[in-house]
Structures are given as structure tokens and as C-alpha cells.
Structure 1
């Protein structure tokens, strides 16, 4: 078997951009969806020349990939999506190995439903987890399989593997799509006064451009291509709960809130109620007149859960003073729905849209692979 020639990486403006030949595919965005697509294209269409473009580093610390839960579970998926989720799990095992950690996932209820067991019984060997909640208000629990990982590590691993197989990567570059498969690339640098400026500009043409820029992708399609989509976005924060967690602590889910064990404590993954309207600017709320960094909707949800999860009513919950104190990022909502699965969509003859969203942890790799298969089929025609 012929060893593939590794791709080239342009990480900063000191490296002159001089591709060897025109590209067949330009992937804008090197989060986990764009990176997964680049890798999947080598499986299904290895002859295509691909350039992966990222505005930040790898992985990008500003996007939703870094702040995603990194939680694979079937708990909230319909049966029709289970096969795709299982495929994704096997792919995660291949890419992450020991970095993928199996954990129990307990969906907590105030009423018994089919398959539930007493919460006290399921948490008998996890007293620290039991101390977080009131088992009299959440007495029933449904156990599911779950696996934890770091989405940033997934994006980095997928991109690096794709590069070893021949994908080119351009970092610190702002990409703007235009009709007809044309993309403007602005290579960014930092001045001695810490201003981010455009150092040089390039224009590329390719038969296919994929918008994998997360929550920004629908706006890019509308503003730069004149194409309206039904997709939307929401601003999701992931507050920190400084309650101790053990290496084998289960993931807890109660009334829409997920408590993910992480770094010896917990990261809170709140529910997403709806899409944020166009032009919405996230604002922190107030608790007893004191400004907090939690947006009002998230703060109201946590206050409503304080009886059932008493740890939320303690100083262990980090409220912050402003929005900058609480990690948060814009999250894509495929089809504008908070529970919609990841999706890909052909926008015109030259452009595809690839969106992750709330279920990207469990279904994202499958969706990226499905788009790669579609692209490969089109390239053979």
C-alpha cells in the first residue's frame, strides 16, 4: 500500500501560502464537524484535494466545540437514531482510544416510569453524587450507558489524522464564502499593540465549499450567499459547580439539567428552551438584586431546581458578576429546533452546510461521514 503524502499546514503569516494545485473541496471551520468531514473524505473520496480553514488555532478555543459536553448517550434519542449513534461511538473509540471514558448516566425523575429504579439504590456506591440532590424529590432514576470525552481533543485528532493522509490546513485565517465556489481568505496576525489585523488576502475557487463554522454558518449563507435557511442558534453557558466528583461518578440529568463530572467537580449543561432571536445579545441576570454572569433564562432554571438539587443553592455554584465570568458559546440549532439532530444541507451547486448542534456529541461523526459519502458519490458521477 502506498503511504499517503502528508498535507501542508500554514499556521501563521510567516509561512507563504503557495498550494501545489487547485483544491476540490474547501472546508471552512476546523471544529469537530469540519475536522471529521476532512477525515471522512479520505475514507470515501481519497483523490479529492481538500483544504481545511480555521480562523483560530487547532482546536479553536472560541467555538462551541471546546465547551460542548463531550457526552455520548442514547438517553434522549429516538430509536431511529440509535444505529447512527452506535456507529459514532465505534468511531470515537477508533479516534480517542483510552480518552473515551465509560460512565453511568442517570436520568432522575419525581415519578416512576418504565425502567426506573430507586435513586438511593443506584447511587448507593456514589455518596458524593447522592449528596448533590434530594432523593425524596427525585426518588426515581433510569440508568443509561454513557461515555465522556473532550470534543476539542476529537477535533484535533481528526484534523491531525486527516493532515497525515493529505489534507492541507490553514490556521488563523478568516474565510468568507461567495457565490460560484469562490472564497476569500484573510490571513490574520497580531500587531505589537495586540490588534488582530489582516496581513494578506487570497481568493480561491473550488467546485465544492462546505460551511462548517458552527452557529455562524447559517448567517454566512444568508449574508454572503443570499441563501436563507431555517437553521438558528442559541447562546449556551456551562456554569461550574464546585462540588467534588470522583473518577467514576455518574452523569446526572434532572429536569433538563445535566451535571457532568469533570476535573474533580461538575460542569452544568443547561437545557435549551428556544432559538435566540436575530440580533440578541446575551445578558447576565440578577439574583436577589445582585448581578450575575448567568443569563436570565439559565438562572431561572437553576433557581427552580434548587429544592431538588440543593447543591445549586450553595456557594459551590459559580455565578460570576458578568457574562465573561461564565463559559459560554453560540450553539447551532439545526432546523431551528433545540432537539434536532446534526444535519447537512446542499445550499447550491457549490456549497454545503454542515451543522452539529446539541446532539453533535452523539451523532456528529455519523453526519459528517454521511456528507462525505454524498460528496464522494457526486465526484464519481
Structure 2
């Protein structure tokens, strides 16, 4: 990624857009100008939206703003599971999920995309379930995690896949810049509605760090966006209400992703039991607990206690893991990273579209030319399609690539 506003770049070829500008730090001068589209937030959803907009509407001047130092630096994108599966996806959204899988596989370079079975374990039999011992027989490292007597049945999604959402966000942002989008990092943005006009006004606070490691506002700029998109993840609904005065029904929950230091390899399947997902990663497992409900306004994550000892896991997550310790014995050993305080366990706020723990990704028109873009629990499987749908709407396109040619546009 370019690190200077006017860094040297190879000239664009015939018919190609010139690369956009990148302002990575306050030492690079910025002269405000109005943009056709401004996207607040360069996580997965915002960066992918910018990428698709450059494909569908290259004539539009586009600015992508990110408070952090890189589009994949922290937050829900970095800690997202990165597990693609059609489980939990309504039938009428399956075509979007399939299209998203193909995009993940082919459109963004190396994001560690890999077909990897997802095996869900059950205490009772049911449709499409087979003996756990048979399902896990080809995977001895996964079988070693499970008490087969406690979870004797399994179902398998052999078409599931894993990838790195953080790598996706970075690749999409880089490709958008290469195609002509501008990107500003270390910039906190606030939006306001434009009276009697579509779009909004954006106040940009360029941030710097003092010698004592304090983050301060170095300079402030204001510009107008004909189309404004809030792609701020779990902070998006709050920004809509606080900055724009527009109430939404969306919510958020704090999800932690503790580490289980049990051996895994590139061939280890993803496991799921009672809503807990065990995602093979970096030679061990990242645990993705189920989200049961929205967290109330003002909730501050705190660690719970296990046998009187403080841990870094929030109480609800700790209770879920304790309930599974007999069925998944390694959870009851030192292999589970409990931490001593909340800061010891990776966690981030997750958007809950519609306030639902199983809410599907969506984009919502808040006002003329102002949109909210949310990923949420199913962003791994449907996020790209929803971002593309918004990009197509902004570009004035009717057709969607997951539609049959003879199917009317949605």
C-alpha cells in the first residue's frame, strides 16, 4: 500500500484509472475536496464496498476513511471467524452465499482461502447426522478433542471454507486504491446531514501520537459527500443516532475469541458444538463462542470467575465453555487461554443487524444519499454480496451477478 499522498506509482495504462492517493499520517498535506462517495470505516465491509464501487462506477470520486493505521488493524474484522458455510443462511440468500464464496476464492489474491469441512457435533441424532466417530475418523487431531460418547452424532458441510477476513480487508482496500479510490488512515470522522440536499457533511480529525503516547487531534478538515456510507461495524448504529440523529433497531454484542492450544493443521476441520466454533488457526484453535443476545447500552465487558479465580473471559462465555468441558475435554485443561483480565483475551464489538444474534448482513438507507452498512454474525458468508448490492445501487445498476439472467432484478 502507498504511504505517501503523492508517492510514485506506475502510470495507468490505456483505459485504466490512475491510482488513488493515500494519506497515512499527518505529515502528508491534505487539501479538502468534495467527493461523490465517502465511506467511513475501512474494515471488511467498507473496503469491499470501495473495491466494488471502483468496478461498477469508476467515474465517481471516492474516499475511504479509517481511524486505525491499516484497514485490517483491529476490531471485528481482524477477529472474525473467517468461516464460510451455508448453514444458517435462508434459502433465498443461498445464491448470494455461493457468489460470495467464488469471490473469496478468486477475486482478492492470497487471503488464505481453503476448502475445509465444517463438522457440527450433537448429543442426539437427527436429519443428515452420522456417527461422530465416522465423521472424525479421517481427522485424528480433531477426534482427540471430542468425547464421542457425549457427542455421538455429527453432520458435515464438506463445502465449507476458511479464509482471513483481515487479509481480505487489506487486499480490497489496496485494490480499490490501485483502481483510483483515495484512502486516509489515522483519521476519525464524524458525519452530519446536509440540509435540503442528499448526502452529508464529513468532519475529519487527523490523529497523531505524542511523545507520551497520547492520541491527539492534529488537524481538522470538512468536506461534502454526495453519497455517505457508515461502514463502522458495531459503531455504525451509534454514529447514525449520535451524529445524524437517526435511530435504528440495530444492536451490538461483545464477543471474545479465546485460544485453545491444542494441535491443529491445514487439514483439520472446523468443529462446532452447542454454538461454539473451534476454528483451526496457527497450529491451534481460535474459539468463537455463540452470541446469545444483544448487550445492553452502557455494558462494559468484565472478566468472570472460575472456581473463585478471576479470568479474562466474560461470564456468559465462561459458562458456555464450562458446560462443554466434559464433551470437549481440552477445554478443562491448561490448553484453554483464560487470561486474568478482560484485556488478556482478544475481543471486539460485533454488530447485530436488527438487534438479532443471528441477524444477516444488510445495508439500510438512512436519508437521501446516506447509508448504513452492517456485517454482523453472517458477514463471513454474505458480507461481500451485501456490499456489492449497495455498490450496484449507488452505481445505478439493476442486475446482480448472483441472479439468473431471466430472473427479474431485486
Q: Give the structure-1-normalised TM-score.
A: 0.97
Q: Matches of residues 99-118 of structure 1 in structure 2 within 5 Å?
A: 99-118=112-131
TM-superposed deviation, 1:107: 1.1
Give the counterpart of 1:122 among 106, 126, 135.
135
User: Which residue is 1:254 aligned to?
Assistant: 273
1:208 aligns with 2:220: no
Q: CA RMSD in A?
A: 1.3
User: Which residue is 1:70 aligned to?
Assistant: 82
Q: Distance in 2 between matches of 1:373 and 1:69?
A: 27
Indicate if the aligned counterparts of 2:72 and 2:170 stay in contact, CA closer than 8 A.
no
1:32 aligns with 2:44: yes
Task: Structure 2 unaligned segments of length 5 or more: list them.
Answer: 1-13, 195-199, 399-410
Q: Residues 107-164 of structure 1, C-alpha deviation per residue, up to 9 Å, x if partnerless?
A: 1111111111111111112111111111111111111021111111000000100101
Indicate if the aligned counterparts of 1:95 and 1:154 stay in contact, CA closer than 8 A.
no
Please state whether the residue corresponding to 2:141 is helix, strand or coil: helix
Task: Structure 1 unaligned segments of length 5 or more: list them.
Answer: none
1:12 aligns with 2:25: yes
User: Which residue is 1:133 aligned to?
Assistant: 146
User: Which residue is 1:271 aligned to?
Assistant: 290
Give the counterpart of 2:168 among 154, 157, 160.
154
TM-superposed deviation, 1:61: 2.4
Please state whether the residue corresponding to 1:294 is helix, strand or coil: coil
TM-superposed deviation, 1:97: 4.4
TM-superposed deviation, 1:80: 1.8
Give the counterpart of 1:362 among 372, 375, 381.
381
User: Which residue is 1:87 aligned to?
Assistant: 99
Please state whether the residue corresponding to 1:37 is helix, strand or coil: helix
Q: Residues 20-52 of structure 1, C-alpha deviation per residue, up to 9 Å, x if partnerless?
A: x53100000000100000011122211111000
Indicate if the aligned counterparts of 2:188 and 2:204 stay in contact, CA closer than 8 A.
yes
Q: Give the structure-2-normalised TM-score.
A: 0.90
Indicate if the aligned counterparts of 1:85 and 1:362 stay in contact, CA closer than 8 A.
yes
Indicate if the aligned counterparts of 2:362 and 2:374 stay in contact, CA closer than 8 A.
yes
Indicate if the aligned counterparts of 1:119 and 1:140 stay in contact, CA closer than 8 A.
yes
1:42 aligns with 2:54: yes
1:164 aligns with 2:178: yes
> Which structure has the highest helix share of the two?
1
User: Which residue is 1:178 aligned to?
Assistant: 192
Q: Distance in 2 between matches of 1:8 and 1:96?
A: 20
